Structure 1
Amino acid sequence: MDTQVFEQALPNSQADAGQIIERQTKKATFDLKTYLSQKRIEVEVALDASITVVYPEKIYEAMRYSLLAGGKRLRPILCLASCELSGGTAEIAMPTACALEMIHTMSLIHDDLPSMDNDDYRRGQLTNHKVYGENIAILAGDALLAYAFEFIALHTKRVPCERVLQVIAKVGHAFAATGVIAGQVLDLEFEGQPNINVETLQFIHAHKTGALLEASVLSGAILAGANKELLQKLTNYARNIGLAFQIIDDVLDVTGTSEELGKTAGKDEKAQKVTYPSLWGIEESKRQAQKLVDEAKAEVIPLGEKATPLCAIASYITARTN
């Protein structure tokens, strides 16, 4: 598959991304591992406190089972990082960060159902429906999705109401038939169809994976009152890392083990899904992902030291093993 069309669709950076990144790397070092660990702990504490078990206990236990199962917590961390970059604080962004993880968890619960991707393991443990049954798993996902928006509305403090409404609309748009759902529908429709082209595949993953990542980045910035120019830069950044994330996911499904991934490896091939490696091969897929990451960094590096976490997270996307 020719990748020229794909490359033409990428935004042009104002300067050579590689040179900018090299200069930034020499200027300062950043301990991403420590940063992610600290932010993950903050998110985990907030998530644990977000849902208590009351009557009927089973549904709350099912919600907590998947929500607190670990994971990278990349979406909430991106929300916190973009808020801090834009002049806000982690405190004002945390309710939205938690809500994003609730919605992401809901998507995983439903994605693992037998009628969807049919997986037995997620984040290294049995999937929700394997523990609680399909009926409770569906309801647990529904409950997390609904509660996420309530959580933003009730727990966001010291932020103008219009910004909170903007975030609720942004996150809803990202998950609805305009976002994640659209990508999921096409992903199911094109299973077993080898004639899918790269533009369609890009549309699927820009929605199924990229939309919620984009909402994560932008929602933090909106809460902090970012202007249009900054929001555009962050939009470009987020769209690039969103697609890069999915390309690497496709690669890892081929090259990783179930133990490394925390879910069943090799599922895409078994389900006869068209993926980036199936169109381009492993090495070209990695090259395209790196190109996207470089473009993403070029958008935010000129913003200064506060953009360092976002730059480092972009690099992490292509370096990760799960």
Structure 2
Amino acid sequence: MEIDRKTKPSIEDVRRIIEKDGAKGWNLAKEALLKQETDNPRLKEALAYLTLIPDYFRPAIVAYCCEAVGGDPEITVPTGASLVLLAKAIGIHDDIIDNVKRRGKHITAYGKFGKEVALILSDILLFKGFTLMKKSLEIGVPPETLGKILETIDQVWFEQSESEILEHQFRRKTDVLPEDCITKLRKRASEMEAITRIGAILGKASEKEIEALAVYGRSIGLA
């Protein structure tokens, strides 16, 4: 996480730093998918497809927030990996609901494999995401800390769902109020708040520090 403070880092510098610091979490998430044994070639292909776009961002941010409050960033690796898988599951749900078959140059899992396989993939991601949480216990995260993390994930999952419902309700409407749009955006930003909050929790932060990083995360999510 070293930055030359004499010069302003470029976007590419930041990208490299995040890739380096999020690599362990991403690699653990990737391994959970690629090492899954299956006799079904189609499912094997689909699981591999999910790993084509790496996610270093979530593991890196949770590590930074942990370190910011004096914690050991290494303790965040399993949780960072879990957050990657859970986010990919949410992403598949969104693509199916919004009928998104391509994002930029990349064909979505829904676009490539169809709704049925995509739904199965999202189920796999959910279960593997939560199963990976147990690795946190294996490296010394106290059960009560893991409990707080799961409570945070439960809350963010509900807010993400509320956001999706609002988006569905707003479709083809011309009388949606600006404050309603802001409410939807704030709920969508709950994921980033969860990431920063979880990092602080893993770093054994005070309640004041946890809430400060949570507010920071929500603000980033709105940016």
- When normalised by structure 1's length, the TM-score is 0.61
- The 1:225–1:181 alpha-carbon spacing in structure 2 relative to 1, beyond 3 Å, is same
Q: Are residue 193 (structure 1) and residue 180 (structure 2) matched? A: no
1:129–1:26 CA distance, 2 compared to 1 (3 A): closer
Q: Secondary structure at the match of 1:92?
A: helix
1:88 paired to 2:71: yes
Letter in 2 for 1:119: V
The structure whose Rg is larger is 1
Q: Give 1:60 deviation, angstroms.
A: 5.1
The 1:158/1:217 distance shift into structure 2, 3 A limit, reads same
Cα separation, 2, equivalents of 1:141 and 1:94: 21
102, 109, 132: which one pairs with 2:113?
132
- Give 2:26's aligned amino acid: E
Q: Which residue of 2 aligns with 1:314?
A: none
Matches within 5 A, 1:5-24: none
> Against the structure 1 CA distance between its residues 102 and 110, is the aligned structure 2 distance closer, same or farther, given a 3 Å change threshold?
same
Amino acid at match of 2:210: L
Letter of the structure 2 residue corresponding to residue 133 of structure 1: G
Aligned to 1:102: 85
* Matched residue, 1:258: none
Q: Which runs of 5+ in 2 are unaligned?
A: none
Identity across aligned pairs (percent)?
A: 23
Q: Do residues 174 (structure 1) and 156 (structure 2) align?
A: yes
Describe the SS at the equivalent of 1:192: coil
1:242 partnered with 2:202: no
Distance 2:78 2:5 in 1: 35
What amino acid does structure 1 have at the position aligned with 2:80?
Answer: A
Q: Could you tell me how far 1:238 is from its partner in structure 2?
A: 1.1
Listed as ranges, the matches of 1:195-274 within 5 Å are 195-208=175-188, 210-244=189-223
Q: Secondary structure at the match of 1:232?
A: helix
Cross-structure match for 1:183: 163
Moved over 4 A (4+): 25-31
Do the aligned partners of 1:60 and 1:140 also contact (CA within 8 Å) in 2?
Answer: no
How far off its partner does 1:120 sit?
Answer: 1.7
Task: Structure 1: state its 5+ residue gaps.
Answer: 1-24, 245-322
- Which amino acid counterpart does residue 243 of structure 1 have in structure 2? L
The 2-side partners of 1:173 and 1:95 are apart by 20
Write the distance in 1 (CA, Å) between the matches of 2:205 and 2:112.
43
Which letter maps to 2:37? V
Residue matched to 1:43: 25
CA distance in 2, matches of 1:215, 1:229: 15
C-alpha separation in 1, matches of 2:143 and 2:202: 10
**How far did residue 53 of structure 1 move?**
2.8
Letter of the 1:41 counterpart = A
SS at match of 1:236: helix
Distance in 1 of aligned mates of 2:7 and 2:151: 37
Deviation, structure 1 residue 204: 1.0
Q: Are the structure 2 counterparts of residues 172 and 71 from structure 1 closer, same or farther at C-alpha, using a change threshold of 3 Å?
A: same
Q: Secondary structure at the match of 2:196?
A: helix
Shift of residue 123 of structure 1? 6.3
Instruction: Please list, as runs of the form range in 1=range in 2, the aligned pairs for 1:47-126 lying within 5 A after superposition.
Output: 47-51=29-33, 52-57=35-40, 58-59=42-43, 61-66=45-50, 68-70=51-53, 73-113=56-96, 116-122=97-103, 124-126=105-107
RMSD: 2.3
Relative to structure 1, is the Cα distance of residues 228 and 186 closer, same or farther in structure 2, using a 3 angstrom cutoff?
Answer: same
For the 8 Å contact 2:23–2:56, the answer to whether it is kept is no
Cα pair distance change 1:26/1:49, threshold 3 Å: closer
Q: CA deviation at 1:145?
A: 1.4
